[in-house]
Amino acid sequence: MKLKGKIAIIPGGNSGIGKEIAFGFLEEGATVITASRNEKRVAKMQKLFTALGYTGCSLQVDITNKNCVEDLMKYVNHKYGHIDIVLNSAGYFPINDSLDITQEEWSKVIDINLNGAFWCAQAAAKYMIKQEYGRIIFITSGQGIMGIPLMAHYSAAKGGVITLAKALAAEWGKYNITVNTIAPGPTATEHVNNDFPKEFLDKQSRSIALKRLGNPNDCTGLAILLASDEGSYITGTTIPVDGGITNTIIA
């Protein structure tokens, strides 16, 4: 087991890509604490933990609130004695014409996707620095690399996360903390399938070299690598998991 004995915190780990990674970490022996603002998702995930006999829990946390995030890290460190891995998968990605984005909507997208990512990293690093060990992973997006129409706010936020990871990797490397980002392409999560127009998703599929949307578990193996000792010399990088959409030209 590659993550045996490790304590992993996964904001956004109760749904979509984060949920698949959470179960991947659990299968590799980690104790996993998922976090979400959504009370129903928290309760549902906690039932799964109990039913399947996994070690860990699901907690209701608003990652846009710095104090709440600090309380989360304090609780986990006190209960388990250390924090080894933080993988932030929390995200919010509406579709809006750029001319119609309101100040409220812009701020909400930046607050959840960028600010929340930083609060999680900052709060966790205070414990990781003391133990001189840590793995911080952000789930960003191919849209942070290339940008697409109708999601300017999300592209800006996820692009910020990519640069944030580089800065933190440079600053915290001396403490044996790695900081990386995984950039999924369009992925067929429950949210995407339910809330995005089929025509939009079909168009996205045609622009991908592999001609399909990603599956929610496509990022799990890479996340395990970056969280494990096998990934100890990888830091400050962004790795796309996107079927080739950001690195190929489709004829």
Known catalytic residues are 154
Which residue from 14, 27, 73 is spatially nearest to 223, judged by alpha carbons?
Answer: 27
The tokens of 236 are what?
Answer: 């400050």
Helix-helix angle 103-110:152-172, to 10 degrees: 30
Residue 88 burial by Cβ neighbours in a 10 Å radius (0-12, 13-18, 19+): buried
Which residue from 63, 10, 28, 4 is spatially nearest to 224, judged by alpha carbons?
Answer: 28
Integer Cα distance of 180 and 164 in angstroms: 10
| C-beta of residue 182 within 8 angstroms of C-beta of residue 226 | yes
